[in-house]
Amino acid sequence: MAAPNRRKRKTEKNTPPPPPPWIIAARAAEDKKALDLRILDLQGLASFTDYFVICSGANPRQIQAIADEVERRLAEQGRKPLGIEGYEHAEWVLVDYGEFLVHIFSEAARA
């Protein structure tokens, strides 16, 4: 009697798709201990972007570290910002990714 035809099945890992980029940005900010983190869904409300990621840092060094980590994490996903403003003074850093904006404020600037 012939041996049964046994095919080896390729096992595909059911890896979930990566989170949306604004979530990646928020998680990067969290990892750098950002304060009062919020994501605002502006779809249908604003014509210039779909989401704001808003957070604060305790000092200029932390604000810059948050901006750097957001940029690094999104670069891993092949995304580069369209522009970055306010990085040197670090009172209010704006990182523009087109479909979403990341605002990183000093506590005084956000008050």
Residue 50's identity, in one-letter code, is D
User: In sequence order, what are the residues at sequence separation of 6 or more whose Cβ sits closer than 8 angstroms to the Cβ of residue 90?
Assistant: 57, 60, 61, 63, 64, 106
Percent of the chain with pLDDT over 90: 82
CA–CA separation, 53 and 44 (whole Å): 17
In the predicted structure, residue 9 carries a pLDDT above the cut 80: no
C-alpha pair distances (Å), 43 with each of 48, 49, 97? 10, 7, 15
Average of per-residue pLDDT across 66-71: 98
pLDDT tens per residue across span 35-66: 999 999 999 999 999 999 999 999 999 999 99
